[in-house]
Chains A and B, each alone.
Chain A
Amino acid sequence: MQKRWYMRLDWLTLFLWAAIVCFGLVAIYSATHGPASEFLLLTVQNNFSRQLVWACISFGVMLVILLLPARFFQTMAYPAYAMSMLLIVGALLFGREINGARSWLFIGPISLQSSELAKVGTILAIAHLFGSAREQASVLGRTFLGVGLLLLPAALIILQNDTGTALVYVGAAPFILFWSGIPLSIVAILVSPPIAGYLAVVHLPTAIAFSVLFAIAMFFGTHQRSIAIASLVIAGGTAGLSGFALTKLLQPHQVARIVSFLDPEAYRFTSGFHVIQARAAIGSGGLTGKGFMQGTQTQMAFVPEQSTDFVFSVIGEEFGFIGSFGLLCLLGFLMVRLILLGMQSRHAFPVLFAAGTVGILFVHVLINVGMTVGVMPVIGIPLPFVSYGGSALVANTTLLAIILNLNMRRDEFPRYAI
């Protein structure tokens, strides 16, 4: 007998979501209620209670979304995308600047970050694009269109002066393409530039060696000379361009921002400050941590942005390796779980929607935790579900809720393979 749709709600995902959000609330509380908190900005001092309200709102949004019919999301995909782009443009035209990014819209007392909310519409649209076209006729055209759907918001967000968030949109592309049916070789070529670029920042010869090895591997994997050459050109080109940009093109302060994580002591009082303080916080947490509200780095507000972008340092300091590794595992489980939920349905839309969501979550986690522990450049993006930020929490919860909804109602989709 077929189960009622609500019997199929994936409680595990819901539990993971609640656990991660609670982790975040605990960390935000600790970061804003210590003895040094009176010196924080007034707005930051209230972050905990506001995040608590946002968590409740997110839960409400999730309930509403779970009640919607499955078809609704495909129907609304393109309108939602259009709405999202309007939001970003609106913020660009009428919004206010916070931390240098003009991505904020104010509706009464509520401030909304357009670039976070627009993720929902963008992923809906791109999942719909790849998920509804049945004939394999123009894979290339569809791919270009799909990438275009991602690049448009990314470009607009760069105009908002929020390169970090734009990078997330671009970074999610390979994940969607990976599940969209295009050859793995193309996906591999798409993944190679960020890796080559990262290596070029760390050590240019390694990046060049990587590019060569990557091209050789691609040749033996595909036996197509053109693919190998394309790999070499794209990976090697990224490495070379990065090296050129760092030495010749960029201003010293821009270079400093990018490379300071490699040798933060050299930039102790400028761009290395975040890295040094976050590293000291996490490292001093040790195996078991200093205990809730006991972290000196956290309580004395040494780590900048510690309730938002650097929230992971609070967990690392106060809950130690056990706490931070635990949180990473929760996030890892959640991502795998979301993909599995998508794959349970035989229709392409839920799979691609899950892929897009997880792609965005993955890039967020990798870059955010990477910068906090000092292996990535400091790119100001939040840790999903954990960092303070209402728009991000609502947007991420919406994405998760849509996956749950599509999974609950997976039988309402016609079965066909992607």
Chain B
Amino acid sequence: MGIERLRLRIFIAIVIVAIGLLTARLIHLQVINAEYYAGESEKNAVRLRVTQSARGLIYDRNGVLLVDNVPTYSLTVTPRYFDEERIPLLARLLEVPDSTVRARLDEASAWSPYQASRIFREVPFQIFSRVEEHLYQLPGVEFIVDDKRHYHGGVRASHVYGYVKEISERQLDTRKEKGYRQGDRLGQSGLERSYEPALRGESGRRFMMVNVHGQEVKSYREGSEDVPPQSGANLTLTIDANLQALVERLYENKRGGAVAIDPRNGEILALISSPDYDPRLLSGSVSQEVWKGLQDDPFKPLFNRATMSGQPPGSTFKPFMALVGLQTGVITPQTTVTCHGVYYFGRPFKCHGGAHGTLTVRDAIKRSCNVFFYTLMMRLDFDKWSKWGPEFGFGVVAPTDLPEVVSGLLPDSAYFDRAYPRGWTRGYLVSLGIGQGDMVITPLQLARYAAALANAGTLHSPHVVRSAVDPQTGEAFDFGLEPSHRIPISPEHFETVREGMRRMVMENNSTVRWGDVVVAGKTGTAQNPHGEDHSWFMGFAPFDDPKIAVAVLVENAGYGATVSAPIAGLMMEQYLTGSIDQHPQFVKDMALRGKSEGMENGEGMQWRHYFDREEGRVAAGMPR
């Protein structure tokens, strides 16, 4: 063999070995580990984009749109892909100084250079479109479009709606299996919370191809694996927007809560807690200033007083006393008690307005005679009396679709044993007969009770949502409200008590009634040793066919008749006639001028007028 052939063979061998080595590596990459690298390349180039579903819309009972959604634009930057030389361009487009962009960018880099961070939230639409046109010059910059709640109908209803907020780490931990992801929104209170599963809808998925700069270039596999989002269910409320707006207006400078219920079915027609806040404050991104301000405000605007804050019911409790007395046989409609202006049980317990003389139960209610009900209380067996409370919804959590509710308090002997460990006597019970002392009832509970009085004995589950309908399928959600409850008291006794309440309104010069509508009701004053008394009113109308029952509480505002009764009267007229034209002006003035102690100068009202103030406007005039 010649040296040339040897050289040739060596050369060919070298080429084969080299190609062989490279081929071995190719087999390693492309045959053995192909799947792994397929995953790697997919991770690289395919980005899962979760498309938020549109949260369900909210309508009032007459189909008036109350809540829908508007898009908000957040600008994100992935620092690793962002070219710092483009800071001036971005700053110019956003109309902010370079230093702002630089500072936000540094923050984002500190958090993660490789992940997109939102550096500008709620970018106005025209700026969004301007930046969008220049996105090709801005690698690493993207927009995220979110929805935020948008409110209509001239009502705040902040405690009815509640608010929506980005899900927190802790909330996410317990909701991962329900499909929640970081950045999702979650109803935090009110309807937004209790109807979250219906309102939420189902988020969609879009698979996008991204290039090396993180820019989304086109859909993956022509969108064949994308899933469109499903909108959440639309809620139709039982709330009457006009009534709600009126009550909100009437609660100017007042602390307390009011609830109106349809006594035929438990539908809540209006629910207000005051001080309240403009729900727009908590829609979308919330500034630290607003969030801290709301939480630290001593007037607690976030707290739902209508469902969570109770007071002793005062004289509004007397119909309950009368019913228990009649049903247990302790009194009959003919039983009389003579009032000399004071009742003695160890010490004197005063009536009001002097001596009422000899009274039947009807007149005792009409004239709100304390001595009658002191006497009745002391004739009743305390433990049996306590058991009647839950029949009327006292001392128990109301079965409602609003998440923030408390049980309040109706005492029994076990409670007194706990509360007075050094012993207590029957003398402690006397004031319970007139709804004072160790007793806590919320406006919601009182309204529910008023509705039961109106319909003569049916205790409904109060609720704010009439229906929730999936807009895609037209299917209705069923939330399984607790069925109504029949109070085991004879209807004739209800008639006796209702008659007393009718007389209370119709035979006194009451601010509640108007025109020829027959209204029944009862004022109440919860004694407050620390300041002004709390003013209550509960009642219903029309007397023969009640369509609305209301409970109104204005804290630290004096007698029930002076503030709460006018408000209740206006509410009833508004709901039944669609206006408040028939009430005399002085009633409207009484309702508006009444002020809670400590709020005379609008203290605690700033959050409901936040935007008015921001825009330099002052809300004025009575609503519709």
**Contact code string A287-313 (vs B, CB < 8 Å = 1, else 0):** 100000000110111101000000000
Task: Say whether, besides A269-B80, A343-B4, A321 and B37 are in contact (CB < 8 Å).
Answer: no
Interface CB pairs A-B, < 8 A, 29: A36-B215, A36-B217, A39-B139, A178-B11, A179-B7, A184-B10, A281-B41, A282-B37, A283-B29, A283-B33, A283-B40, A284-B42, A286-B30, A286-B34, A296-B42, A296-B45, A297-B41, A302-B41, A302-B45, A316-B29, A320-B30, A324-B30, A328-B26, A332-B16, A336-B15, A362-B15, A373-B22, A374-B29, A418-B4
Complexed CA–CA distance, A324 and B26 (Å): 8
| Interface pick from B206-214, B402-410, B424-432, B453-461 | B206-214
Determine if A332 and B26 form an interchain contact, defined as CB atoms under 8 angstroms apart. no
Question: Count of A residues near B, CB < 8 Å?
Answer: 51
B18 at interface (Cβ–Cβ under 8 A)? yes
Known: A178-B7, A178-B11. A36 touches B212 (CB 8 A): yes
List 8 A-B pairs, minimum CB-CB distance, nearest first. Answer: A283-B37, A36-B211, A296-B45, A284-B41, A286-B34, A321-B30, A280-B40, A283-B29
In angstroms, Cα B217 to Cα A390, docked, is: 30
- Cβ-based interface call for B23 (8 A): yes
Q: A179-B7, A296-B209, A328-B22 are in contact. Are A302 and B44 (CB under 8 A)?
A: yes
For chain A, what secondary structure do more than half of its interface residues adopt (helix, strand, loop), or is it mixed?
helix
B211, A321: Cβ atoms closer than 8 Å = no
Nearest CB of chain A from residue B23's CB, rounded to whole Å: 6
**A296 to chain B: closest residue by CB:** B45
CB within 8 Å of A: which of B1-59? 4, 7-8, 10-12, 14-16, 18-19, 21-23, 25-27, 29-31, 33-34, 36-38, 40-42, 44-46
Which of chain A's residues have a CB closer than 8 A to the CB of B387?
none
Given known contacts A277-B44, A284-B41, is B209 in contact with A35 (CB within 8 Å)?
yes
Interfacial chain B residues near A287, Cβ < 8 Å: 30-31, 34
Shortest distance between the CB of A385 and any CB in chain B (Å): 16
Bound-state Cα–Cα, A279 to B33, Å: 11
Which residues of A lie under 8 Å from residue B212 when comparing CB positions? 36, 277, 300-302, 304
Q: Which of A179, A184, A284, A418 has the most CB of B within 10 A?
A: A284
**Structural contact, B136 and A284, CB atoms closer than 8 A:** no
Asked whether A335 is an interface residue with its Cβ less than 8 Å from the other chain, the reply is yes
CB distance from B72 to the nearest CB of A (A): 28
Interface centre among A39, A280, A287 (most CB of B within 10 A): A280
Does B29 lie within 8 Å of A329, measured CB to CB? no
Bound-complex Cα distance A193 to B207 (A): 50
The total of chain B residues at the interface (CB under 8 A) is 43
* Contact flag A339-B8 (CB < 8 Å), given A300-B211, A301-B212, A362-B15: yes
Q: Please determine whether B8 and A302 come into contact, CB atoms closer than 8 angstroms.
A: no
Interface residue from B19, B21, B37 paired with A329 (Cβ < 8 Å): B19
Cα(A277)–Cα(B45), bound, Å = 11
Q: In the bound complex, what is the Cα–Cα distance between A365 and B44 (angstroms)?
A: 28
> Which of B31, B45, B217 sits near A321, CB closer than 8 Å?
B31
CB distance from A30 to the nearest CB of B (A): 15
Q: How many angstroms between the C-alpha atoms of A179 and B25 in the bound complex?
A: 30
Min C-beta distance of A276 to chain B, whole Å: 8
Which chain A residues have a beta carbon within 8 Å of chain B's beta carbons?
35-36, 38-39, 178-179, 184, 269, 276-277, 279-287, 296-297, 299-302, 304, 316-317, 320-321, 324-325, 328-329, 331-332, 335-336, 339-340, 343, 358, 362, 365-366, 369-370, 373-375, 418
CA distance A315 to B217 in the complex (A): 22
Q: Is the CB of B136 within 8 A of A286?
A: no
In this complex, what residue of A is CB-closest to B220? Answer: A296
B86 lies within 8 A of chain A by Cβ: no
Give the interface centre of B25, B136, B218 by most chain A CB atoms within 10 Å.
B25
Verify B45–A325 contact, CB threshold 8 A. no
Shortest Cβ distance from A367 into chain B, in angstroms? 10
Contact in complex: B218, A280 (CB < 8 Å): no
Could you say which residues of chain A place their CB within 8 Å of the CB of B22? Answer: 328, 366, 369-370, 373, 375
| B18 engages A282 (CB within 8 Å) | no
Q: How far is the CA of A331 from the CA of B16 in the complex (A)?
A: 11
Residue of A with least CB distance to B32: A283
Q: In whole angstroms, what is the CA distance A284 to B218 when docked?
A: 20
Asked whether, in the complex, the Cβ of B41 is within 8 Å of the Cβ of A296, the reply is yes
